[in-house]
Chains A and B, each alone.
Chain A
Amino acid sequence: MARPKDEVRLKMDYTKSFFPFNTKNSKSLDALKDIEERSLWTSAMQRLIQNKAAYISALLILFLAFVCFVGPYFLSWSYDEIDWDLIEATPPSINNGHFLGTDSLGRDLLARILQGGQVSFQVGLLATMVAVLIGVTVGSLAGFLGGWVDQVLMRIVDILYVIPLMFFIIILMVIFGRNFYLMFIAIGFVEWLTMSRIVRGQTMTLRHKEFIDSARVSGSSNTRIIFKHIIPNILGVVVVYVTLTIPQVILLESFLSFLGLGVQPPMTSWGALISEGAREMEITPRTLIIPALFLSTALFCFNFLGDGLRDALDPRDR
């Protein structure tokens, strides 16, 4: 918006810069405001908003999440309530309050989809967040410090990689019993490994860049270098990996639910709804298609948002 003005100012200043030792100090306090506004995240937000697809996706995700978490309070049926009059799957109707019909047990499909959305959003976002936090910390430490720290951390990752997921889950179930929150542990446990490897590789390429050296000469500590220089520069890759992880996690959750860890009927999730619907798709394709539509919309949006975030986090892409 202020672009044309900027251009003029820039031209004027350009002529000034030919006289390098202009000691006259042009104190303009209003310029100070700009500086605070243009940190990495705020300027990334500005660029994200300019990207229509990403912006709409972000809004759509927020809308979906809002509907999933608030919607159930406005429905006349709850997700586990069986409508004994419609015990078999019935098509959508406005009259009986089942706006998307019922499933094969006579439960309201819309209510179940919204409930399942709650679970899927929680799992998808929280488990991914856990994976990112652990993965980025471990990966950047290993890549940046190198030496024995790198060796130890990466060997731990190697060992964890070879433990089969099924085996790990069965052990978890034996020790803790069935628990919804164990699912986060199980998923986070699997997902952070790849994350840490990716981040480590990126960090190692960054470590020998000159701007890291120059930061060190400027007196920056290792912590500052990791948080101020390394992590902002690997965020693009991390964000892309996150958008790949979220759908993976949501699908993994339905697999875990099938094994008995995670959500149990009548509680549900999008993954579980789809696998239920797939069993009956010859009779009532509706029970497969509608949850699948919700899930794929959400995943599409996550991917667009991730793409947009990656571009927005890189100031070189305009």
Chain B
Amino acid sequence: MRENLLDVENLTIKYKVKNGNLFFNRYREFKAIDQVSFNIGPSETLGLVGESGCGKSSLARAIVKLVGLDSGKVTWLGKDWTSSHASTDRKFRENLQLVFQDPLASLNPRMTVSEIISEPLENYRKDLSVLEKIELVKKSMETVGLSTSMINRYPHEFSGGQCQRIGIARAIILKPKLIICDEPVSALDVSIQAQVINLLKDLQKRFSIALLFISHDLSVVKHISDRVMVLYLGRIMEIANVNDLFSNPSHPYSQALLSAIPIPDPIREKERKRDNLVGDAPSPIFPPSGCVFRTRCKKSTNICSIKEPREKIVKLGHRVACHHVSDEESK
């Protein structure tokens, strides 16, 4: 059995919201991420989809320790990362990079492109001379399709797509084993999105990097992922191979999501059956009892409001958290 790069077990992140008056501070805790478990193998792409506010970014940030986690365990390259100290964090991070959502905001406006891209080198490869670093920066820029003549420019002189390429160049310069992409294309034009996604796909093949690809765009996720994880209010609803999920979604939420994908064919698009979700996602501060999805679920019954569904294995590597699933499968 191959060894997983990243194992996440029962990860829970709690946030505090202020809930008091002028004189007394009271805090109310809520779970942004609740008991999430998954793993990522070498050079595999795990897609992570969910509505806004469901905890996708919190999950990504918890994995790279930008946000503290409250319980659970993150194992990175076979070593427990949750209990490690700040000094060992740095070693771990060398193989784990993050690409951010907002391309421009993730680049320091006072730094030139070469300074930005070489920042990981400054921290991890102190043995390199200035010339060697610049050579690496240039190589990395060429890899992501940036002209090396732009090496002295500042981030504001670039377009959004180019900025994202700079972010990717910074992420790949240390040849990491896993890159977490936190909605890397949501701030970009559709045409640029395609370029950046294909770039990521190519990089993955060339350097056999694993990706955790976060997005709320299902077609993008379908295009890039090997496996897909569906998140709702901080809980995993379904996790499956990309083909299984898109051809045979088991969870009502995944079914609703998939039915919302438009078909680029006007005739078929008219006939497309949509089962629209009603209303907004409930507030994670006051989650519904039992199954969190029951307030918007078509199949919701009594048991859904009483008991939280256990994750059921539909197939090897296909897990679903729904009371109604195993019944359907056994028929």
Residues of A near any B CB (own CB < 8 A): 6, 9-10, 13-14, 16-17, 19-23, 25-27, 31-32, 34-36, 38, 40, 209-211, 213-221, 224, 228-229, 232-233, 313-316
Contact = CB atoms under 8 A, between A and B. Distances in A.
B106 A210 contact: yes
B250 interface: no
B110 A40 contact: yes
B155 to A, nearest CB: 9
Contacts of A219: 90, 93-94, 120, 123-124
B147 A214 contact: no
Interface string B299-319: 000000000000000000000
B139 A35 contact: no
A224 B108 CA distance: 13
Contact of B93 (A9, A14, A217): A217
Contacts of A229: 108
Interface string B185-202: 000000000000001001
Most buried by B among A14, A40, A210: A210
Contacts of A21: 143, 145, 202
Contact of B123 (A22, A40, A218, A233): A218
A217 B97 contact: yes
B119 A218 contact: yes
A233 B149 contact: no
Contacts of A40: 110-111
Given A17-B146, A17-B147, A315 B109 contact: yes
B156 A315 contact: yes
B287 to A, nearest CB: 26
A217 B174 CA distance: 12
Given A209-B105, A219-B120, 12 more contacts: A6-B149, A10-B147, A27-B135, A32-B130, A40-B111, A214-B98, A214-B107, A215-B119, A220-B123, A315-B110, A315-B156, A316-B154
Contacts of B148: 13, 26, 31
Given A21-B143, A217-B66, A316-B156, A10 B149 contact: yes
A13 B148 CA distance: 8
Given A35-B114, A213-B100, A219-B94, A14 B156 contact: no
Nearest to A15: B147
B99 to A, nearest CB: 9
B154 A315 contact: yes
A146 to B, nearest CB: 14
A16 B123 contact: no
Contacts of A213: 61, 66, 98, 100, 106
Nearest 8 CB-CB pairings of A with B: A20-B145, A13-B147, A219-B123, A210-B106, A315-B154, A232-B110, A210-B105, A218-B120
B97 A13 contact: no
Contacts of B105: 209-211
A10 B105 CA distance: 24
B248 interface: no
Q: Which secondary structure characterizes the binding site on chain A?
A: helix
B134 A25 contact: no
Contacts of B150: 10, 13
B226 to A, nearest CB: 22
B144 interface: yes
Nearest to B142: A22
B142 A25 contact: yes
Nearest to A316: B156
9 contacts: A10-B149, A26-B148, A31-B151, A35-B151, A216-B66, A219-B93, A219-B124, A314-B110, A315-B109
Given A13-B147, A17-B147, A219-B123, A210 B93 contact: no
Given A211-B106, A211-B108, A25 B139 contact: yes
Contacts of A31: 148-149, 151
Interface string B105-134: 111111110100001101110000011001
A9 B148 CA distance: 10
A9 B149 contact: yes
B77 interface: no
A210 B108 CA distance: 9
Contact of B147 (A14, A23, A217): A14
B102 interface: yes
**Most chain B CB neighbours (cut-off 10 Å) among A21, A22, A209:** A21
Nearest to B147: A13
B134 A32 contact: yes
B202 A25 contact: no
B167 interface: yes
Nearest to B202: A21
Contacts of A224: 122-123
